[in-house]
Homo-oligomer: A and B are copies of this chain.
Amino acid sequence: MTDFGITAIEAYFPHRYVEQTELEAHDGVSAGKYTAGLGLRRMAFASDREDVNSIALTAVHSLLEKAGVSYEQVGRLEVGTETLVDKSKAVKTTLMSLFAAHGNSDVEGVDTSNACYGGTSALFNSLAWLESSQWDGRYAVVVAADVAVYAPGPARCTGGCGAVAMLLGPDAPLVMETGTRASHMADTYDFWKPDLASEYPEVDGKLSITTYYDALDRCYAGVQRKRVLRQQPPLTLDAVDHILMHCPFCKLVQKATGRLAYNDLLNGVEGAQERYAALEPFRAMPREESLSSKELEKASVGASRELFEAKVSPGLHCARNVGNTYTASLYACLASLLSAGSPEELLGQRVLLFSYGSGVASSMFVMHVKRPVDALARLLDLFGRLERRAKATPAEFSATLADRELSYGKVGVALRGSIADDWILPGTFYLESIDEVGRRAYARKPVL
């Protein structure tokens, strides 16, 4: 068997969203600060009836149902997340409740975590399992799921919530390229969660941007190094058809596109000197300085506008409409790309992916569309489902997040969120209760 890769993909996001223009008005900030400034449109959010376990349950259940794969056919399931409701019991174990009814408990893999990177870690591990001597012939499932919430303040608008589940197996439509993969890992405090009792992170906003650029540079350089080892030609932006990057907010991905263009210029890529002529004045800028230069950032966004519209923007549909989904973010970009335009055109194309998790863990890799993805896109029904959501007011959004604080990390508390259809769609899993010693019970909203 060969061509192990992604054979199906499902994305889940809560039914409620808040409009970023309305949030701007509600927060009393200047119009356009969240939208034009950060590239945001709508943000999904969940009540205390949804947690990382419930959204992962929904995504996995829906993935296997849509793909027509039974629970007995899955030999591995790994979860990437940074949203903890228990410090010991993995999300993976809660997902085993889906398998129990089918008598399959022999399912390798647990949870993997570092900020927004866990989904990629789970993907890498699961693909390696499929290629290993220990593979037992069954599918692997990867789930990336997170609830991204911030304390009241300027970062709150960059939240989001979602889960992406992927089915991995042989003869896959989406296959990872061998050798074109490099990582950059370092000890950094740019985003972290030291207050264990709070759902909110600490963020060093400025550092998180320069660390992202730094990781992007180093992964791109690492890919070149790894390709030399395998006697492959250098990778350039011209050689890929699409670029997907972890998306904390869309504007950062646009700026990072400029950063990649700047890298191609510095690398002496053919044609880059003409195309990115506006970046010539920055060629001699010391690298450290370039990471925080607003002038370079502005010039590179301008110089890479065409590149961004053609190869990056189509992958940002989910990010624009759901917000940051942490570990799921990059794979929501992949789901968006499959759903944008006509999936037939993707056949034979190459997709560059950059995964980033603060702290820091990052990787760059390439996937090939080796087989038709039309069926994947159709089953996803991503754009349609995003349009059919229910809008909430900024006041409802704030009240819902305040309610979440009352139950997060606590035991024996009553849940306040509604389980009516305008919050929890039929077929969706939700949190029923947290008992006095912290045991969580889940139920699935009946499908009529």
Expressed in whole angstroms, the Cα–Cα distance for A178 and B136 within the complex equals 10
Flag if B121 contacts A109 (CB, 8 Å): yes
Q: Which residues of B contact A292 (CB under 8 A)?
A: none
Closest B-chain residue to A99, C-beta based?
A: B185
| Contact, CB under 8 Å: A110 / B106 | no
Given the known interface contacts A106-B182, A202-B437, the answer about A359 and B111 at a Cβ–Cβ threshold of 8 Å is no
What is the CA–CA distance of A22 and B434 in the complex, to the nearest angstrom?
A: 39
CB-defined contacts of A182 to chain B, threshold 8 Å: 106
20 further A-B pairs in the complex, CB-CB below 8 A; given A93-B185, A124-B129, A192-B438: A86-B193, A87-B87, A88-B113, A89-B358, A89-B359, A93-B114, A93-B186, A94-B187, A105-B184, A105-B186, A106-B182, A106-B222, A111-B112, A127-B132, A127-B134, A128-B128, A128-B134, A136-B226, A194-B439, A196-B409
CB of A231 to closest CB in B, whole Å: 14
Q: How far is the CA of A226 from the CA of B106 in the complex (A)?
A: 10
* Residue A82 CB within 8 A of the other chain: yes
Docked CA distance A100–B188 (Å): 11
Interface string of A399-435 (1 = CB under 8 A from B): 0000000000111000000000000000000000010
Q: Are B361 and A187 in contact (CB-based, < 8 A)?
A: no
CB distance from A145 to the nearest CB of B (A): 14
Q: Given A187-B100, A411-B195, do A133 and B134 touch, yes or no (CB 8 Å)?
A: no
The residue in chain B whose Cβ has the minimal distance to the Cβ of A93 is B359
Contact between A194 and B85 (Cβ–Cβ < 8 Å)?
A: yes
Q: How far is the CA of A225 from the CA of B136 in the complex (A)?
A: 11
- Cβ-defined contact, A110 with B105, below 8 A: no
The count of residues in chain A whose C-beta lies closer than 8 Å to any C-beta of chain B is 80
Given the known interface contacts A86-B193, A186-B93, A196-B87, the answer about A202 and B438 at a Cβ–Cβ threshold of 8 Å is yes
Cβ-based interface call for A218 (8 A): yes
Interface flag for A97 (CB, 8 Å): yes
Residue of chain B at shortest CB distance from A440: B194
Could you list 24 A-B pairs, sorted by A, with CB under 8 Å?
A82-B88, A88-B115, A99-B185, A105-B186, A106-B183, A106-B222, A106-B225, A107-B183, A108-B183, A108-B363, A110-B361, A111-B112, A112-B112, A125-B125, A128-B134, A131-B131, A131-B133, A133-B178, A134-B179, A194-B409, A194-B411, A194-B439, A195-B411, A197-B409
A201 on the B face (CB < 8 A): yes
A201: B residues at CB distance < 8 A: 88
Contact of A193 among B87, B107, B195, B360 (CB under 8 A): B87
Chain B residues contacting A113 (CB-CB under 8 Å) are 88, 90, 110-113
> Do the beta carbons of B105 and A89 come within 8 Å of each other?
no
Inter-chain contacts of A99 with B (CB < 8 A): 185
Question: Which residues from chain B contact A218 at a C-beta distance below 8 Å?
Answer: 105
Copies of this chain, how many?
A: 2
Q: Which of B94, B124, B358 contacts A88 (CB 8 A)?
A: B358
**Among A95, A182, A359, A434, residue most surrounded by chain B Cβ atoms (within 10 Å):** A359
Inter-chain contact B86/A192, CB cutoff 8 Å: yes
Q: How far is the CB of A434 from chain B (nearest CB, A)?
A: 8
Is there contact, CB below 8 Å, between B108 and A189?
A: no
What residues of chain B lie closer than 8 Å to A115, measured between beta carbons? 88-90
A124 and B108 contacting across the interface, CB-CB below 8 Å: yes
A38 is an interface residue with CB less than 8 A from chain B: no
Q: Could you tell me if B128 and A92 are in contact, using CB atoms closer than 8 angstroms?
A: no
A229 contacts partner chain B, Cβ-Cβ < 8 Å: yes
Closest residue on chain B to residue A365 by CB atoms: B134
Cα–Cα, bound, A184→B109 (Å): 11
Q: How far is the CA of A111 from the CA of B361 in the complex (A)?
A: 11
Instruction: Give the complex CA separation of A121 and B133 in angstroms.
Output: 16
Distance in angstroms between the alpha carbons of A186 and B98 in the assembled complex: 10
Contact A197–B194 (Cβ < 8 Å): no
A409 to B87, CA, bound (A): 12
Which B residues lie within 8 Å of A187 (CB)? 93-97, 100
Nearest neighbor of A181 in chain B, beta-carbon distance? B134
Name the B residues within 8 Å of A93 (CB-CB).
114, 185-188, 359-361
